[in-house]
Structure 1
Amino acid sequence: MKFSLFFEMQLASPTPQSERQIFLDSVEQAVLADRLGYHAVWAVEHHGLREYAHSSAPEVFLAYVAARTERIRIGHGVTLTAPRYNHPIRVAERVATLDILSGGRVNWGSGKSGTRTEQHAFQTDVPALGEQWLEAARMIPRMWRDEVFAWQGKHYDIPPTQIVPKPVQQPHPPLFAACSTPVASREAGALGLGALNFSAGTQTKLTQRVQAYRAAVAKAEPVGEAVTNHYACTPMSTVLMDDRKACEYGFRGGRFFWQSQLAYYGGEDRPLGPLHTDSGPLPEDELREAMDARLAPDAKLTGVIGSPEVARAQVDRFRAAGVDELILVMQMGTVPHEIVMDSIRTFGEQVLPHYA
C-alpha cells in the first residue's frame, strides 16, 4: 500500500501574509515527506475557491517541489482538462516538461471541475464539459506518442502539429481521473485510468466501489497506451503520538475541509467573501463522539486520525477494502504548520513502515 500527501493550500481566514506562507509551508511538508519515504505529493487545480483551495497553479508548485526533492512522485490531482481551462496541447507540453525535469516522477490526473465558480469564471460550456474532458483524455496520450499529431473531433480540430517535448516515462506518465461518485470510478476503470476518490462511505460500500472499479478495469478500452489499475482515496489525516491532541486538530480540520468544500460544491451559488465556516475547537461532546466512532464496524472511512496505533487500524480497513493508495489530507485550513509537520513525521516513522 502506498501513502502520499494531498495539497489544496487551504486557509481559514486568509490574509496576504498567510497565503504566501502556506505555499512555503507546503513545500517544506513535501520535502519532509520525500525524506521519510512517502510515495507522492498530489496538488489540485482550483480557481476562485477562496479558503477551500488556493492551489490555482499546481504546475508551478509541483515543479518547485520536484527541484527540492529526490524520490517522491509528483502528482497532478488534477489538471482541469477542458479547453476553457487548459488546452490539451498546453497540458501535454507542461506535463512532459515536468516529467523531464523530475526525472520521470510525474503522475497525471485530469478532471473537469464540479463548481459553478470555476465553470462560470472560465465561461465553460457546462453541458459539454464531460465530452470535452473525455476527448482531451484520449488526445493527450497520443500527443506524447505521435511525432506528428492531428485530430478532428467534436470539440477539437487540430491540424498536423509537432508537439514537444515528450515525457521521460514510457509509454507515458500514469493516467488518473478525478472520481466523485461510484459511477465515475467505474467509468475511469473502463477507460484504463487510475481512480482518485474522496474518502466517504463505510468499509462495505468502499469495498463494493473498489470491486466495481476492478471489474471495469478488467474490460478496459484504455485511452492511453497502458492501463493504470490503481484506486486511491484521500482521507483527512492527523497522526500524533498523543491520540487526543491528534483528534482535536484532525477533526477540527476535517470539519473545516468539508464545510468549505460544501460551500462551493453544494449548490448553484458562487460564494464571495468569507465562508463563515466553523474553525474553532469542537465541543467536548462532539469530539468524544467522533473519537469513539473511529473504529466502529459501520464507521465511515473518511479519515486517518489519532495515535499511530489507531491510525494503523484505520489504514487496515482501507487496505481490506482493496485501496492501493491513501493520499493523506494533512494540510487542512485550521491545522497549524508545526502540527502538519509533526503528523507527517509521526505517520512516516510509526505507520508507513508497517506497510512497506
Structure 2
Amino acid sequence: MKFGIVFFPTVGPSDKSAEVYFDEALRLVDLAEELGFEHVKIVEHYFFSYGGYSPDPVTFLAAAAGRTRRVRLGTSATIPAFQHPVKLAGKLAMLDNISHGRLDAAFGRAFLPDEFKAFGIPMDESRDRFVEGVDAIKRLWTEEDVVFDGTFHRFGPVTLLPRPVQQPHPPVFVTTARSAESCAEAGRAGHHLQTVPNVMSTEELQSRLSVYRAEWAASGRTPGTEQIHFSYPCVVAEDGEEARRKGRVDDDRNSAAIRDAVASWGTTRSDAYPGYEKLVEATKTSHFESKMEQNKLLIGSPDQVRSQLEQISQWFGDDITISLGVHSGHLSYEDAAATMRLMAEQVLPKLNGGRG
C-alpha cells in the first residue's frame, strides 16, 4: 500500500478564512514531503463549505509544486464539464512542467445540482461531456495539429503548448462515487481509478473493483499495472479516545457540510444520476459510530488505525493507494500534523510492506 494526503476543506468564512486554511494546508504539504508520503491531492467544488474553498485544484497544486521536489501532485478531481478542454489541458500541462513531471490528473463528472446550474450545464449531459472532455484533453497532450469535432466542443487544427513532461501523458484517473458502469468504462479506457469507500458498502466496492480489474485486463493491459486510490478521513492520536473525540467533531462537521451541498437533490432529478435524490435522506442518517464499525473512517490510536488498514487490505488488496483526509479545517493544524507524523512513524512502518 502507498499513502498520501488529500485536502477536502469543509469550512467557510464563519469557521476559518481561506487565507488561514491554505497557509495551514501548504505547511502540511511541506510535512508530507518531509515524511515521505507519496502524494498530495485536492478537490474541485464551488459555493458551499463542502469543498467550496477549492474551486481550482491547479492553483493550489502549483503552489505545492514550488515548495516540493518529490511528492506527486493530484487533482481529486477536476471537472471537464466546467472548462473548455483546451484551457484545462493547457493548465494541467503547465503544472506537469512546473512540477517536473509529478502530475496525476484525475477527472470527475461532478454531482451537485447547484454547480451545474451556475455553469449553465444540464446535468443530463454530464456523462457525455465528461467522456468528450477527457478524450479531447488526452488528444491535445499527445497529438499535434489536433482537429476536434465533438458534440460540445469543436476546434483545430491546434498544437498545445507546453507539451506535458510525462509521456505519452500524465497518468489519467477517473473519480467515481457510486456508478458501477463508470468503473467498467474506466477499466476499458485504461484509466486509473479513484473512489471514496464511504459512499457504498464493502461488498459493493469489492464488486466494482472486480469489474474494473476485469475490464482493465480484458482491454489487453497488464493486470496489476492499474492504480486504485481510496480516500479516507483520518485522525490519529496517541490516545485512541482522544482521536475518537476529535474525529467525531470532524465527521459531524463534514456531514453537515455535505447535507447543505446536496439539499437541492430534494427537488432535482436527472437520468444521468439515478438514485441521487436519496442522498438527502442518506446524509440525515449518516452516523459516526456506524462509519467506524464499517471502517469508513481511519480514526484511533496508531495500533487501532494499523488494524483498520490491515482489514482494508484484506478486503480490497494490498496494491491500493490510500489518500488520507487529514485537514478538512475543523481541527487544528497541530492535530493534522500529529496525525501525519504518527502515521509515518508508528503506523506505516508496522504494516506489511510498509509504504510501498
TM-score range, shorter chain: 0.7 to 0.9
Q: How many residues align?
A: 327
Alignment partner, residue 192 of structure 1: 190
CA contact (8 A) 2:46 2:53 kept: yes
Tell me the amino acid that sits aligned with residue 159 of structure 1.
Answer: G
TM-superposed deviation, 1:342: 0.8
Which of 316, 338, 341 is equivalent to 2:310? 316
Instruction: Look up the equivalent residue of 1:29 and give its one-letter code.
Output: L
Provide the C-alpha distance between the structure 2 equivalents of 1:176 and 1:86, rounded to a whole number of angstroms: 17
Deviation at 1:326, TM superposition (A): 0.9
Secondary structure at the aligned position of 1:235 is classed as strand
- Structure 1 segment 1-356 matched on structure 2, within 5 A: 1-11=1-11, 14-15=13-14, 18-50=17-49, 52-82=51-81, 85-183=82-180, 184-200=182-198, 201-220=200-219, 229-268=226-265, 294=292, 299-320=293-314, 321-322=316-317, 324-353=320-349, 354=351, 355-356=354-355
Displacement of 1:317 in angstroms is 1.9
CA drift of 1:221 comes to 8.3
Q: Distance in 2 between matches of 1:228 and 1:48?
A: 37
SS at match of 2:17: helix
The amino acid that maps onto 1:312 is R
The worse-fitting range, judged by mean Cα deviation, of 188-197 and 338-347 is 188-197
CA contact (8 A) 1:254 1:332 kept: no
SS in 2 for 1:29: helix
In 1, Cα distance between equivalents of 2:87 and 2:213: 31
- TM (norm. structure 2) is 0.86
CA deviation vs aligned residue, 1:126-178 (integer Å, no higher than 9, x gap) = 21121011011111111111121111122221120121111111111100111
Quick one: which amino acid aligns to residue 91 of structure 1? L
Distance 2:215 2:343 in 1: 33
2:260 is paired with a residue of what secondary structure? Answer: helix
CA contact (8 A) 2:16 2:329 kept: no
Secondary structure of the 1:217 match is helix
1:193 CA drift (Å)? 1.4
Give structure 2 stretches of 5+ with no counterpart: 268-286
Aligned in 2, Cα 1:257/1:157: closer, same or farther, shift over 3 Å?
Answer: same
Aligned to 1:277: none
Q: Is the 8 A contact 1:31 1:69 kept in 2?
A: yes
Structure 1 residue ranges without an equivalent (≥5): 271-285
Residues 27 and 65 of structure 1 are in contact (CA less than 8 Å); yes or no, is this contact kept in structure 2? yes
CA RMSD of aligned residues (A): 2.2
Name the residue aligned to 2:274.
none
- The letter for the 2-side match of 1:5 is I
What letter corresponds to residue 40 of structure 2 in structure 1? V
Kindly state the Cα deviation for residue 204 of structure 1 after the two structures are TM-superposed: 3.8
- Closer, same or farther in 2 for the Cα pair 1:253/1:43, shift >3 Å? same
CA contact (8 A) 1:51 1:333 kept: no
C-alpha offsets along residues 46-73 of structure 1, whole Å, 9 cap, x if unaligned? 1112354311121111000011112110
In structure 2, distance between residues paired with 1:221 and 1:119? 36
Task: Give 1:2 shift.
Answer: 1.0
Give the whole-Å Cα distance in 2 for the aligned partners of 1:24 and 1:124: 33
Counterparts in 2 of 1:10 and 1:93: CA distance versus 1, 3 Å: same
Tell me the percent identity: 28
